[in-house]
Amino acid sequence: MHPSPVSGAFRPAFSVRRLFGWLALAAACAATPVSAQTAWIGHRGPENVLRINTATDTVVAGTAPVGNNPYGLLATPTRVYVTNLGSDTVTVIDAATATVITTVNVGVQPFGLAISPDGTRLFVANQASQTVSVINTATNAVVSTLTGGNRAAGVVVSSDGATLYIANELGNTVTARTIATNALVATYTGFSGPKQIALSPDGLTAYVPNYSANTVSVLTLAGGAVTTVPVGTGPWGITRSPDGSAIYVSNFSAGTVSRIATANNAVTTVAAGTGPIGVSTTPDGSKLYVANQNSSNVSVFNATTMALITTIGVSPGPVSMGQFIAPAAAPAPVPTMSEWAMILFGLILAGGAALYIQRRRLAA
């Protein structure tokens, strides 16, 4: 006779049905990418940052306080960084909770900012100091200082993370420096009041808005050849589409925004709000958001046709100079067939062990 099961006896959690349920859940989680759906808008008026849900184009309740005269803003899937021109600091915000994590002291008059491809270093251009502060994003500490030019304003990092390109507004130059050693690699000349800079996806071409010349310079980094593209009056902010097919420039004095098709430098210019500065696209490249400082609103455009979709009222003085919509987080890697086989084998072993233990206890 076999003993009857004893009430309260150990029962294994393992079953074939549960096993495949776990595997299906793991596969679904691994294959589901995280999509960025927030536009972060920094305001010079109330000195705070609010959020816009880019799926609904509505303002999300709640704001995060920042420092004096916030200008630059860079959003990542987990953190938001804001340069405070008037308090010589960078505010670090948790992207999940919209709460301030810490405030980092940097150089004098921090303006533009950029992040390394691996996300470990943040670069902050300090206009009055003519330097670039390098912040370790894990510790939020300044770990080094690079040399900038006359009124260093905009920065961007090469795709390999080795070189920093700096737009120097009063020097009318773009300088390239090796991040590891601060060595000067190149100095490019012929610009006119450059405040920002963007790179093509392959890292071979830089796009520099010339605020004082009403043009955008298309700079071939190898050799320094320049093509000049006319846009609106007072080009300031700049960004590119995720696939690199278009460059977008805010024309501050004209109250317009220009789209440059990178294949042929064809320009489409449309009306935005008053005093546009920050420009940023959604991760899928379908919509363009423009922060209009003097009309206290955000214009939303179809990024391909440049048709106006809507205008969103925000607090006074929105700037958000930089990538204020985070790129989509990379999806978790899906295990290979051999890795799935190892996972399955391990679960079967665990289940077999549980069954063996149960039988031993029932037989005792």
CB 276 within 8 A of CB 293: yes
Backbone angles phi, psi at 362, to 5 degrees: -70, -30
Supply the pLDDT for residue 348: 75
Q: Give the Cα separation of 107 and 129 in Å (integer).
A: 6
pTM across the whole model: 0.83
Q: Where are the domains of the chain?
A: 33-313
Q: Give the Cα separation of 351 and 359 in Å (integer).
A: 12
Q: Give the Cα separation of 255 and 107 in Å (integer).
A: 31
Supply the pLDDT for residue 331: 56
Supply the pLDDT for residue 336: 66
More confident residue, 181 or 352: 181
> Where are the alpha helices (H) located in 32-79, listed in sequence order?
none
**Least confident window among 122-136, 243-257, 298-312, 315-329:** 315-329
Distances (CA, A) of 222 to 58, 67, 86, 225, 258: 43, 39, 37, 8, 26
Q: Give the Cα separation of 48 and 85 in Å (integer).
A: 13
* Block residue for tokens 């909770």: 97
Q: What is the mean pLDDT of residues 228-242?
A: 98
As given in the structure block, the two tokens for residue 41 are 């808008």
Q: Environment class of residue 29 by beta-carbon count within 10 Å: exposed (0-12), middle (13-18) or buried (19+)?
A: exposed
More confident residue, 29 or 297: 297
User: Tell me: the pLDDT tens digits for 251-266?
Assistant: 999 999 999 999 999 9
> Where are the alpha helices (H) located in the chain, listed in sequence order?
16-31, 337-363
Supply the pLDDT for residue 132: 98
Supply the pLDDT for residue 5: 41
Query: Does the domain spanning 33-313 belong to CATH 2.130.10.10?
Result: yes
CB 251 within 8 A of CB 232: yes
| pLDDT surpassing 60 at residue 300 | yes
As given in the structure block, the two tokens for residue 238 are 């700049």
Strand partners, 64: 49
State the average pLDDT for the chain. 89
Q: Residue 330 — very low, low, confident or very high, per pLDDT cuts 50/70/90? A: low
Q: Residue 12 — very low, low, confident or very high, per pLDDT cuts 50/70/90? A: very low
| pLDDT surpassing 80 at residue 276 | yes
CB 30 within 8 A of CB 335: yes
Supply the pLDDT for residue 363: 72
List of residues 6+ apart from 97 with CB closer than 8 A: none
Q: Give the Cα separation of 325 and 300 in Å (integer).
A: 13
